[in-house]
C-alpha cells in the first residue's frame, strides 16, 4: 500500500497507530485506508456544497466482541434495518444481546426517519447532531449511549492528509 507513498507520509501514518507494525495496527491502517479515510475525505468535500452529517458505529454486541470482529464496516446495517431475525442478525444478537441491540437500532432508525422526513437527522424539537464540516468534523458515535464527538481520530485523519493512496 505504501509503495507509491512519500516516505515522510508513510512514517507519519505508521506513527499515528500505536504498536505499529503489530497486527492490530496494520489492520487499522488497512481499515482506515479502505473505509475511514475515504469517507472523511468525501464528507469534507461534500460539506462544502450541501448539509452533511457523519456517523461512526462503535456498538458491539457480545457476539461481536467474542468474535473479535467488533464494529467493523457494515455491522451497522442490521441495526439500521433491524434485521435481527435474519441468519446473520441472529448471530449478531446471540448471547443475550437482543434487547440492547434493539435500543441502539431504535435510536439509529429515529435519526434515519428524521432525515427522510426533514432532510436532517435531528428531531424537530432541536439539534442534537451538528452538521459535519472541515473545521469541526462533528460525528455522531452510535454506541451503548450515543454521543457527538468533535473530530474523532483527528490525529489519524491528519496523518493521512495529502496521501494519494488510489493511484
- pLDDT, tens digit (0-9, with 9 covering 90-100), for 75-127: 999 999 999 999 999 999 988 889 999 999 999 999 999 999 999 999 999 99
The residue written with cell numbers 431504535 in the block is: 106
Q: What confidence score (pLDDT) does residue 166 get?
A: 57
CA-closest candidate to residue 134, choices 31, 54, 58, 29: 54
> Among 25, 43, 61, which Cα is nearest to 139's?
43
Q: Tell me what pLDDT residue 109 has.
A: 97
Confidence of residue 69 (pLDDT cuts 50, 70, 90): confident
Written as nine digits, the cell of 152 is: 474523532
Residue tagged 435531528 (cell numbers): 122
Cell of 44: 469534507
Separation of alpha carbons 79 and 105, rounded Å: 5
- The answer to whether the beta carbons of residues 1 and 32 sit under 8 Å apart is no
pLDDT at 106: 97
DSSP annotation of 33: I
Indicate the pTM of the whole model.
0.90
pLDDT confidence of residue 165: 65
Structure confidence at residue 14 as a pLDDT band (50, 70, 90): very high
Kindly tell me the burial class for residue 132, based on how many C-beta atoms sit within 10 Å of its own C-beta (0-12, 13-18, 19 or more). buried
Q: How far apart are the first and last CA of the chain?
A: 10
pLDDT band (50, 70, 90) for residue 167: very low
State the cell numbers at 33: 485506508
What phi, psi does 123 have (nearest 5°)? -70, 155
The residue-averaged pLDDT of 127-141 equals 97
DSSP assigned state of 54:
E
pLDDT at 82: 95
CA 134, CA 25: separation in Å to the nearest integer?
Answer: 26
Amino acid at each position: 500500500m505504501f509503495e507509491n507513498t512519500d516516505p515522510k507520509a508513510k512514517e507519519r501514518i505508521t506513527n499515528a497507530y500505536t504498536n505499529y507494525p503489530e497486527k492490530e495496527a496494520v489492520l487499522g491502517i488497512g481499515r482506515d485506508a479502505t473505509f475511514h479515510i475515504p469517507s472523511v475525505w468525501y464528507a469534507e468535500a461534500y460539506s462544502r456544497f450541501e448539509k452533511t452529517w457523519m456517523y461512526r458505529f462503535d456498538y458491539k454486541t457480545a457476539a461481536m466482541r467474542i468474535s473479535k470482529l467488533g464494529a467493523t464496516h457494515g455491522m451497522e446495517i442490521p441495526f439500521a434495518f433491524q434485521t435481527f431475525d435474519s441468519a446473520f442478525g441472529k448471530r449478531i444478537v446471540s448471547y443475550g444481546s437482543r434487547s440492547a441491540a434493539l435500543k441502539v437500532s431504535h435510536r439509529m432508525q429515529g435519526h434515519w426517519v428524521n432525515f427522510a422526513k426533514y432532510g436532517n437527522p435531528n428531531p424537530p424539537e432541536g439539534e442534537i447532531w451538528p452538521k459535519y464540516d472541515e473545521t469541526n468534523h462533528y460525528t455522531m458515535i452510535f454506541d451503548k449511549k450515543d454521543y457527538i464527538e468533535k473530530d474523532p481520530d483527528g490525529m489519524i485523519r491528519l496523518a493521512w492528509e495529502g496521501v494519494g493512496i488510489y493511484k
